[in-house]
Chain A
Amino acid sequence: MRTRPDLIEQIPRLRRYARALTGDVNRADDLVQDTLERALAKLDLWQPGSDLRAWLFTLMHNLFVNQIRLRRPQETVMEDALDVPVSGGQMEALAARDIHEALARLPEEQREVLLLVGLEQFGYAEAAQVLGVPPGTVMSRLSRARERMRQMLAGEPAIRLKVVK
């Protein structure tokens, strides 16, 4: 009998990632369901012995990217534009109350890397594979994500002082 990969076992972590990624319970579970359905349909393409979890996260990433693309086709090149160092005034606009809000304000590409590495504990090389980008891109996105989060969540005192009237 051919052994089937245990997809059920993977659901809790897929749900955790999707929840953090979308910030919405229903959207997250829809994404998980789409991922599982796609996984079933493509099960023949999965190589037994390879990392099932990474494969599923790859499928989820592709679905997520497609959703974003459908939603706002013109905004996909925003990442670099957002990477300009922020001045005091922009900092105020960026200040986030909590981790949920900060995550939601992060560009998707950066959010994905931050979550894959910081929450899901993928290695850099694995994260690169999941996202289909070079490892160097993972590192630069991670670096930007963490710095933006830091600024949003607490802010550097020097910058925060500027926005206080």
Chain B
Amino acid sequence: MTDDVQEHELHAYVDGALPEARRLEVEAWLAAHPDDAARVLAWAGQNQSLHAAFDTVLNEPLPLNLVRATRRPVMPVAFVTMAAMLAMLVTGLVGYAIGLSSGGGQAPVAPAYLARDAAIAHAVFSPEARHPVEVDAAHAEHLVAWLSKRVGTQLQAPDFSAQGFALLGGRLLAGETGPVAQFMYQDPVERRVTLYVRRAVAGNRETSFRHASENGVDVFYWIDGDFGYALSGQIGRQTMQRLADAAYAQMVTANVNK
């Protein structure tokens, strides 16, 4: 048993909670007390096992119902402003919404949600230093094939090299209309933009460009056929517009060449 070194100090040693001087003393104690050293080693191993078993959760796509749960009935000013802005966007789609609600059955996902969800996904993943993407650009071919398969259409990751942005990689997210692909790009000063692609509401053939500003994130989004695309970033509206134009132009070209 421990005389000089207390049990709680052994734990504090494992948890890195001892002052440096005491840490060295405990270390010396452990060198002379193999039983305690074995216990301490086992405890440290438990911490490692816990991380090994559960750290992957940090990297999982965020379920959208959880993201939505952070914004539901809210009251503060910032949100009211955002809600008003969303309301304006939605108003523009009123005819479309009426058409859907009278149709019944299918849950409508208005394009405004596309912009919001894309902005949220951008805000969540673009600051990631260590795990911004699931599959990096070194495996671009696999990345595109994988996301295409999951999302259910032949995707292409637009080439933004002319605009100074290189593909960083991509990840799969969960969305209300099914799987969502997110491609991430980065410029030399590590500013990031993301392209968010998911199945849109059936029957919606809207193709015009729209712009939204969601909590400081600029989103350019459009619907093309059965899919909605949203480009998000915080690099200024004009730069975003140029990137969105480039993405759109490349997709149109690709479709024409099909």
Contact = CB atoms under 8 A, between A and B. Distances in A.
Given A8-B120, A100-B53, A142-B11, A1 B72 contact: no
B15 A117 contact: yes
B66 interface: yes
B66 A150 contact: no
B113 interface: no
B55 interface: yes
A60 interface: no
Nearest to B6: A139
Interface string A111-125: 000110111010110
Contacts of A154: 42
Given A12-B58, A19-B54, A143-B11, A119 B47 contact: yes
B57 A37 contact: no
A153 B46 contact: yes
A33 B69 contact: yes
Contacts of B46: 99, 114, 118, 146, 149-150, 153
B152 interface: no
A142 B8 CA distance: 9
Q: What is the size category of the interface that chain B forms with chain A? A: 35 or more
A27 interface: no
Interface in B80-108: 81
A119 B50 contact: yes
Contacts of B208: none
A13 B58 contact: yes
A29 interface: yes
A8 B43 contact: no
Given A16-B57, A16-B58, A37 B79 contact: no
Main secondary structure of the interface of B (DSSP, over half): helix
Contacts of B79: 4
Contacts of A16: 54-55, 57-58
Nearest to B8: A139
Interface string B109-147: 000000000001001100000000000000000000000
Contacts of B70: 7-8, 11, 36, 39-40
Nearest to A122: B15
Given A15-B57, A16-B58, A2 B66 contact: no
A131 interface: no
A11 B74 contact: no
Interface of A: 1-4, 7-9, 11-13, 15-16, 19-20, 29, 32-33, 36-37, 39-41, 43, 98-100, 114-115, 117-119, 121, 123-124, 139, 142-143, 146-147, 149-150, 153-154
Interface of B: 7-8, 11-12, 15, 17, 39, 42-43, 46-47, 49-55, 57-60, 62-63, 65-67, 69-79, 81, 120, 123-124
6 contacts: A4-B76, A4-B78, A8-B124, A98-B53, A99-B46, A114-B50
